[in-house]
Structure 1
Amino acid sequence: MARASVTEGAARAGLAARGAIYLLVGALALQITFGEGERQADRGGALAELSEKPFGAVLLWALGLGLAGMALWRLSEVAFGAAGADGRTWRKRLASAARCVFYVMVASSVLSFAAGARGGGAGTSSDEQSRDVTARALGLPGGQWLVAAAGTGVVVAGVWIGARAVMRSYHKHLRLAEMSRGTRRAVDTTGVAGGAARGLVFAVAGAFAIRAAVDYEPDRAKGLDDTLRSFAGTPLGPTALTGVAAGLVLFGLFSFAMARWRKV
């Protein structure tokens, strides 16, 4: 019982922390749309923005610890299985392990930023990180194939994320019976629109990585900030960026809903 209580608290704190980051990134992207944004629309920019708020240091530590809670939750799923009938299958455990590793990396970068190590991963532009990683990968034997494969994986992940959001696959993870009709409608609005926008961003970033591999040019790879800005260069112009940015804000709100209603 004690373990379940700790795991549940960690999961809900992690989901709330994820929501806060997406809200900030979406808000920064909206500022870019209106020509007011000076920050990078990525995790580093979000943390820098947060650090300048009242009690910013406290908020950064809370965010980092919340993300560490997300990693702990995923680790518990690897060890004990996830909620649901198929939560103990090897496929679910493997997915939880991958998510655990990802959130360990994110949490460590946020905590490093909070501790003042601005040169760490969270303080570095996601665009610079993407170009650096791509350049190193291209320099390896078979590097073009590695980068192309990684980009394809990100595209597939983006399509999968968006499709699951549109199909409302998240319903199986929610305590729907405890929601009112209005609450369920609001959660679906944020879940579908937010998940679709998140998936689209992943897919476009993956496409840029594939292009970098084909052209053998690391600068073709784009991080979150450059990926978001690229939407403004489409035929829809700033309208496309506005829509995607609003979608990321909605995904942040959806993450808060998940923190409240998710089965853990």
Structure 2
Amino acid sequence: MNASALVRDGRIEAERAARGSVTRGAARAGLAARGVIYLLVGALALQIAFGDGEKRQADRQGALAEIADRPYGSVLLWALGVGLVGMALWRLSEVVFGSVGPDGRKPRKRLLALARCVFYCFVAYSVLAFAAGAGDGGGSSDKQSRDVTARVLELPAGRWIVGAVGAGIVAGGIWIGGRALLRTYRENLRLGQMSPRTRRLVDVTGVAGGAARGLVFAAAGAFAVRAALDYEPDRAKGLDDTLRSFAETSAGPGLLACVAAGLVLFGVFSFAMARWRKV
């Protein structure tokens, strides 16, 4: 057997291992952990919409605080953090070996997987630090957004950077919502293992949940663009303030309730992905 054949066989074995039960388990744990966070954020936002959550934060820190207040909260926080580590490792495997699908090895897919890996590394670290009592879950999303925006605005061409990032988040939100409405997530699901009723339920959660998630992203990006145009860091909003802003529109708290319900559905959709996603 020549050297090229050995290299090829080694690559195939490495890829097979990356697609093995450990990676599949890590992916499913990560998707389930993501579902828990969205479920809690949506529930907190619903409480705000109905006037019963003024002192709560509808973001990741608020979700972690809710878990910590429950019986066995510390155990649940550690489990959540470990699940998010699994999500990061799964995305890393996609960077190295490519993702599922005919175009999974393309540079665009690998770069997207790398961005997701970096994001979930940060989220996993913040959750584990919170569980260990050495962190605050990443801090308030609103304060983070204002602080980062203020620092970037002080840089040369800072307004352009903030504006470009904000526009990118808006575009990302539109992309997320559009893909949900087109039901492209079906490409990654083992539909043959679902009953017709289950497929309909997954579609309800996937479409409504993805559309709500995309809307929240787009709104947050729009606030960043406004902060750049006005040169006011306080215009930038994190997840909590972005959600509360829906209640300040002419539609009132009803719009926030709809968006919050959508985030709850996206949490349920994440559980469905943990069960039926191709990995």
Question: Which of 88, 98, 103 pairs up with 2:105?
Answer: 88
1:123 Cα shift?
4.8
What residue is the counterpart of 2:57 in the other structure?
40
For the Cα contact (< 8 Å) 1:64–1:111, is it kept in 2? yes
1:168 Cα shift?
0.0
What residue is the counterpart of 2:32 in the other structure?
16
1:117 Cα shift?
1.8
**Residue identity in the other structure for 1:184:** R
Partner Cα separation in structure 2 for residue 133 and residue 2 of structure 1: 40
For the Cα contact (< 8 Å) 2:177–2:211, is it kept in 1? yes
For the Cα contact (< 8 Å) 1:39–1:49, is it kept in 2? no
Partner Cα separation in structure 2 for residue 201 and residue 231 of structure 1: 9
1:80 Cα shift?
1.0
What SS does the corresponding residue of 2:51 show, helix, strand or coil?
coil
For the Cα contact (< 8 Å) 1:174–1:261, is it kept in 2? yes
What residue is the counterpart of 2:6 in the other structure?
none
Question: 1:63-101 CA deviation, whole Å, 9 max, x = no partner?
Answer: 011001000000001111111111111111111111100
For the Cα contact (< 8 Å) 1:74–1:99, is it kept in 2? yes
Partner Cα separation in structure 1 for residue 36 and residue 164 of structure 2: 31
Question: Which of 37, 41, 56 pairs up with 1:25?
Answer: 41
Whether 1:54 aligns to 2:34 is no
Whether 1:116 aligns to 2:137 is no
Sequence identity of aligned pairs in percent? 73
Two-structure CA RMSD over aligned residues (Å): 0.8
What residue is the counterpart of 1:6 in the other structure?
22
The structure with more radius of gyration:
2
Partner Cα separation in structure 2 for residue 178 and residue 34 of structure 1: 38
1:118 Cα shift?
3.3
Partner Cα separation in structure 1 for residue 251 and residue 107 of structure 2: 43
What SS does the corresponding residue of 1:40 show, helix, strand or coil?
coil
**Residue identity in the other structure for 1:210:** V
Whether 1:133 aligns to 2:148 is yes
Gaps of 5+ in 1: none
Whether 1:148 aligns to 2:149 is no
For the Cα contact (< 8 Å) 2:126–2:135, is it kept in 1? no
Partner Cα separation in structure 2 for residue 2 and residue 129 of structure 1: 38
What residue is the counterpart of 2:262 in the other structure?
247
Partner Cα separation in structure 1 for residue 152 and residue 88 of structure 2: 27
Partner Cα separation in structure 2 for residue 127 and residue 223 of structure 1: 4
What residue is the counterpart of 2:7 in the other structure?
none
TM-score w.r.t. length of structure 1: 0.98
What SS does the corresponding residue of 1:50 show, helix, strand or coil?
helix
What residue is the counterpart of 2:276 in the other structure?
261
> Any residues of structure 2 matched to 1:229-240 within 5 Å, and which?
229-240=244-255
* Number of residue pairs matched by the alignment: 262
What SS does the corresponding residue of 1:234 show, helix, strand or coil?
coil
Q: Taking structure 1 as reference, are residues 123 and 85 closer, same or farther at Cα in structure 2, changes over 3 Å only?
A: closer
Gaps of 5+ in 2: 1-15
